[in-house]
Amino acid sequence: MKALITGGAGFIGSHLCEELLRRGDEVTVIDDLSTGRRKNIKHLESNKNFKFVEGTILNYELMKGLVDECDIVYHLAAAVGVKFIIDHPLKSMQINVRGTENVLELASKDKKKVLLASSSEIYGKKENGLFKEEDDRVLGTTTISRWSYSCTKALDEFLALAYYREKRLPVVIVRLFNICGPRQTGRYGMVIPRFIEQALSGEPITIYGDGKQTRSFTYVADVVKAMTELTNHPKAVGEIFNLGSGEGITICELAKKIRELTNSRSEIVYIPYEKAYQEGFEDMRHRVPDISKAGNLIGYWPQMKLDDMLKKIIQSVKQE
């Protein structure tokens, strides 16, 4: 199987490359290295089944050649991180919408399967309960740029489903919930690498808001395995799956845990959202998925426990 991974030099993409190569696939990566990093895939570049192309998914001609050469597209290229989206709203929307349209249109010519990486941002600020795939979305006003991300990802999903229904393009959609692991950078706002770097360097650990917001964290290896299994399952076509973990933790508890596991003496400080991001910023209070749909179809159940994943990530940050 020849796989094309858009955004393959990113954190999740680079782990997906490893998984597919391990399974014997040929892998081509296209990445513009805007948030992805060449060093994420450096160790793969000597593999004869691996190819890296530096370029953007907005380049239609380039994408045409790459899609023509592959059997399946894993479409991961997207704007990443709350901080990046707030700092670059226009670029984020262009990449997420035009880029995805390019991928779907090109893949539909020969009906090549597309896995679309969507996001838990889709659900917006829904307050309680586990998030199920068919739940309503609850979004804020358009003057708050965070919500644009949710809308662009929703448009991606609408587009993918429309290509599936009207053009018979086989698509599989996964909504990713706070994935973490080695190579994730804190530069675009992600909380775990930020807290670990702060704790290891003795800097204050910065909790935004009151720290009572909840998230559930999933180890990247569990997620890329599920992605490949879903793309191989005929019943996953035309469907949407949450991929995350059903166990939530507050950000305050997370900060304490990381402080403890790193034996850090960093103080824990609270920063108002408007200082951390921008005036009027709205956070999701609660974000924990119901993962039974993927569980029932492919037996998806994340294996790695939070303490173990944090230990692994701490180790890899120390090595870097």
Catalytic residues, by residue number, are: 149
CA proximity to 117, closest of 246, 7, 9: 7
Find, among 191, 295, 302, the residue nearest to 247 by Cα: 302
**Phi, psi for residue 148 in degrees, rounded to 5:** -65, -35
Nearest distance in Å: CB 16, ligand UDP: 20
- Whether 92 and 82 have beta carbons less than 8 Å apart is answered as no
Q: Which residue lies nearer to ligand UDP by CB, 65 or 202?
A: 202
Min CB(284)–ligand UDP separation in Å: 6
Euclidean distance between CA atoms 31 and 7, whole angstroms:
5
Please say which residue, 164 or 281, places its beta carbon nearer to ligand UDP.
281
Neighbours of 212 (CB within 10 A): 12
- List residues binding ligand UDP (CB under 6 A): 82, 178, 189-191, 194, 206-209, 213, 215, 251, 283, 287
SS3 of residue 104 by DSSP: helix
Least Cβ distance, residue 36 to ligand UDP (angstroms): 18
180 neighbors 218 (Cβ within 8 angstroms) = yes
Identify whether the C-beta of residue 61 lies closer than 8 Å to the C-beta of residue 84. Answer: no
Separation of alpha carbons 180 and 98, rounded Å: 27
Q: Which is nearer to ligand UDP, 98 or 273 (CB)?
A: 273
| Smallest separation, CB 132 to ligand UDP (Å) | 18
Neighbouring CB atoms inside 10 A of 275's CB total: 11
Taking the complex as a whole, the smallest distance from the CB of residue 60 to ligand UDP amounts, in Å, to 30
User: Three-class SS of residue 158?
Assistant: helix
Nearer to ligand UDP, 237 or 252 (CB): 252
First to last CA, the chain: 33
Residue pair 53/7 in contact by the 8 Å Cβ criterion = no
Instruction: Calculate the alpha carbon distances from 102 to 46, 111, 166 in Å.
Output: 29, 14, 16
Residue with smaller CB distance to ligand UDP, 283 or 290: 283
CA distance 237 to 218: 23
| Residue (91 or 233) nearer to ligand UDP, CB | 91
Shortest reach from residue 111's CB to ligand UDP, in Å: 33
